[in-house]
Chains A and B, each alone.
Chain A
Amino acid sequence: MQLEILKTYKLYIGGSFPRTESGRFYKLENKKKEVIANVCLSSRKDFRNAVVAARKAVEGWSGRAAFNRGQILYRIAEMLEGRKMQFVEELILQGASKATAEKEVRQAIDRCVYYSGWCDKYQPLFGSVNPVASSHFNFSVPEPTGVVSVIADENSSLLGFISVVMPIIAGGNTCVILASETKPLCSISFAEVLATSDLPGGVVNILTGNSKELHTHFASHMDVNAVVYCRENAEEAKAIAALSSLNVKRSFMWQKDWSKAEQENPYFIMDLQEIKTTWHPIENIGVTGAKY
Chain B
Amino acid sequence: MSKSISKIKQVTKEKRQKSVKSPPTVAKRIASVSSESSVAKKTVGIFSSLAPAPESSDHIQLKSQYDLFINGKFVKPLSKIYYDTINPATGKKIASVAKGNEKDIDAAVKSANKAFESWSKTAPKERAKYIYRIARMIQERAREFAVIETMNGGKSIRESRDIDVPLAANHFFYYAGWADKLEYAFPNRNPKPIGVAGQIIPWNFPLLMAAWKLAPALATGNTVVLKPAESTPLTALKLAEIIQESGLPDGVVNIVTGFGDCGAALVNHPQINKIAFTGSTPVGKYIQKAIAGTNKKVTLELGGKAANIIFEDAPIDQAVEGIVNGIFFNQGHVCCAGSRLFIQENVAEKVIKKLKERMKTLIVGDPMDKNTDIGAVNSKEQLNKINHYIKLGQKEGAEIFQTDCAIPSNGFFCKPTLFIGTSQSHRIVQEEIFGPVLTIQTFRTIEEVIEKANNIPYGLSAGVWTDKGSKIFNLTTKLKAGVIWANTYNKFDPTSPFGGYKESGFGREGGVHGLLPYIKF
Which residues of A come within 8 Å of B, CB atoms? Answer: 125, 128, 130-136, 138, 140, 145, 225, 234, 237-242, 244-248, 250, 265-267, 274-281
Contact = CB atoms under 8 A, between A and B. Distances in A.
Nearest to B186: A267
Interface string B282-306: 0011111101110000001010000
Interface string B493-507: 101111101111110
A125 B187 CA distance: 8
A234 B293 contact: yes
Contact of A237 (B287, B293, B302, B485): B293
Given A128-B513, A237-B293, A277 B495 contact: no
B383 to A, nearest CB: 28
B481 A238 contact: no
A211 B338 CA distance: 42
Contacts, number: 116
A-B complex: 7 closest residue pairs judged by Cβ atoms = A238-B293, A241-B292, A242-B292, A245-B288, A132-B493, A245-B289, A130-B495
Contacts of B513: 128, 140, 275
30 contacts: A128-B497, A130-B495, A132-B496, A134-B2, A134-B491, A135-B2, A138-B493, A140-B513, A145-B501, A234-B293, A241-B288, A241-B293, A242-B288, A242-B293, A245-B292, A246-B285, A247-B502, A248-B284, A248-B285, A265-B188, A266-B187, A267-B521, A274-B506, A275-B482, A275-B497, A275-B513, A278-B483, A278-B486, A279-B483, A279-B496
B502 to A, nearest CB: 7
B276 to A, nearest CB: 15
Given A128-B511, A130-B493, A244-B288, A279 B486 contact: yes
A131 B287 CA distance: 33
A248 B302 contact: yes
Contacts of B498: 277
A145 B503 CA distance: 12
Contacts of B285: 245-246, 248
Interface in B470-521: 472, 476, 481-488, 491, 493, 495-499, 501-506, 508, 511-513, 521
A267 B302 CA distance: 24
Contacts of B187: 125, 266
A66 B503 CA distance: 27
Nearest to B170: A133
A130 B292 CA distance: 34
Contacts of A281: 1-2, 487-488
A274 B285 CA distance: 19
B482 A274 contact: yes
B360 to A, nearest CB: 26
B457 interface: yes
Contacts of A276: 476, 481-484, 501
A145 B264 CA distance: 29
A130 B503 contact: no
B382 interface: no
B48 interface: no
B281 interface: yes
Given A132-B495, A140-B513, A278 B484 contact: yes
B490 to A, nearest CB: 10
Contacts of A239: 292
Contacts of B300: 248
Contact of B488 (A241, A247, A250, A280): A280
A276 B502 CA distance: 12
B482 A134 contact: no
A248 B487 contact: no
A133 B288 CA distance: 34
Contacts of B501: 145, 274, 276
B493 A133 contact: yes
A165 B486 CA distance: 35
A277 B483 contact: yes
A26 B229 CA distance: 54
Given A133-B493, A245-B286, A248-B281, 19 more contacts: A128-B511, A128-B513, A130-B497, A131-B495, A136-B488, A245-B287, A245-B288, A247-B457, A247-B503, A248-B300, A248-B506, A274-B506, A275-B497, A276-B501, A277-B496, A278-B484, A279-B488, A281-B1, A281-B487
Contacts of A128: 497, 511-513
Contacts of A240: 292
B381 to A, nearest CB: 24
Given A130-B493, A132-B491, A277-B483, A140 B2 contact: no
Interface in B424-458: 457
A18 B51 CA distance: 76
Contacts of B495: 130-133, 138
Contacts of B505: 248
Nearest to B1: A281
A140 B292 CA distance: 30
Contacts of B502: 225, 247-248
Contacts of A242: 288-289, 292-293
A136 B491 contact: yes
A42 B278 CA distance: 39
Nearest to B286: A245
Contacts of B170: 133
A212 B498 CA distance: 37
A275 B506 CA distance: 9
Contacts of B485: 278-279
B188 to A, nearest CB: 7
Contacts of B512: 128
